[in-house]
């Protein structure tokens, strides 16, 4: 029986690249995203062409009701959940210095980037535990898409950095709690990846990539770079590992003189 992956924010960008890769790896795919289905219909069709049965859940990860609705929809459609990928995330609507940033922006970013994934993981983990108790051969994992901003300070978007640092601790917490059930929890930290989120600061990042910081190949990271790492985790290639971080940033964060 095919395994099932639930991926948040998979209508485009990194989330879609992960969904497409897992579809090619013989997973069925549940996509959780906020867009009208018509907006993501082409992406869903691509996943189907890759061989997956696809479920689209139009839902907001920051909403408790939407999270519960999504888990129930996956149960009804597939009857199982093997992989949760917490990918959905937002940057502040306005990049404001931390001396001027608003509580409204902080609350929005934290609810979407941290609170929502935390409680979605709670729900998914409890279901995975049930599946493991019912079938000792069950295999599952949780993959958190954090950011190099977990450890690299950016004072123009402090709320984003804090949300991703919180996700890094979330990875550790769930890795510890789920260890007894052999359910690994992983974290991927992307660097500068070419997506809609980074399009608004292309000039700034071009300079960082091509003049200053990137060690490998002097290019932007691509969503496919993240998808390959997620597929390795989802397949179980590193099953004797949990709570670990894979940083995919072209060497940006390597300390050096």
| pLDDT computed for residue 200 by the predictor | 67
Token readout for 31 is 């996509």
3-state secondary structure of 1: coil
pLDDT at 105: 98
Q: Residue 120, exposed/middle/buried by CB under 10 A (0-12, 13-18, 19+)?
A: buried
Q: Residue 201: pLDDT above 90?
A: no
3-state secondary structure of 129: helix
Confidence of residue 163 (pLDDT cuts 50, 70, 90): very high
pLDDT in tens, 1-59: 899 999 999 999 999 999 999 999 999 999 999 999 999 999 999 999 999 999 999 99
State the catalytic residues.
Answer: 160, 164
Q: What is the mean pLDDT of the chain?
A: 95
- Which own/partner contact pairs does 163-167 have at CB distance under 8 Å and 24+ positions apart? 163/89, 163/109, 163/110, 163/113, 163/114, 164/89, 164/113, 166/110, 166/113, 166/114, 167/86, 167/113, 167/114, 167/117
**Residue 198: is its pLDDT beyond 70?**
no
Binned at pLDDT 50, 70 and 90, residue 248 comes out as: very high
The mean pLDDT value for 113-118 works out to 98
User: Is the per-residue pLDDT at 123 higher than 70?
Assistant: yes
pTM above 0.85, yes or no: yes
The domains located in the chain, with CATH, are 3-248 (3.40.50.720)
């Amino acid at each position: 029986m095919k395994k099932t992956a639930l991926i948040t924010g998979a209508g485009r960008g990194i989330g879609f690249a992960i969904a497409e890769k897992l579809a090619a790896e013989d997973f069925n795919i549940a996509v959780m995203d906020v867009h009208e289905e018509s907006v993501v219909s082409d992406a869903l069709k691509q996943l189907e062409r890759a061989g997956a049965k696809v479920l689209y859940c139009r839902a907001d990860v920051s909403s408790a009701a939407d999270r519960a609705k999504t888990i129930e929809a996956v149960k009804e459609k597939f009857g199982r959940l093997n992989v949760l990928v917490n990918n959905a995330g937002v940057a502040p609507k306005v990049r404001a210095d931390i001396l001027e940033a608003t509580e409204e922006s902080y609350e929005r970013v934290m609810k979407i980037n941290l609170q929502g994934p935390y409680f979605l993981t709670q729900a998914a983990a409890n279901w995975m535990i049930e599946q493991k108790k019912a079938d000792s051969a069950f295999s599952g994992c949780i993959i958190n898409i954090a950011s190099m901003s977990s450890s690299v300070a950016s004072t123009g978007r402090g709320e984003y950095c804090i949300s991703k640092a919180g996700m890094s601790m979330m990875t550790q917490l769930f890795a510890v709690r789920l260890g007894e059930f052999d359910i690994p929890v992983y974290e991927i930290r992307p660097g500068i990846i070419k997506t809609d989120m980074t399009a608004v600061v292309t000039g700034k990042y071009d300079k960082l990539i091509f003049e200053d910081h990137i060690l490998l190949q002097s290019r932007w990271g691509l969503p496919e770079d993240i998808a390959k790492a997620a597929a390795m985790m989802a397949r179980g290639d590193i099953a004797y590992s949990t709570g670990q971080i894979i940083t995919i940033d072209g060497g940006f964060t390597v300390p050096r003189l």
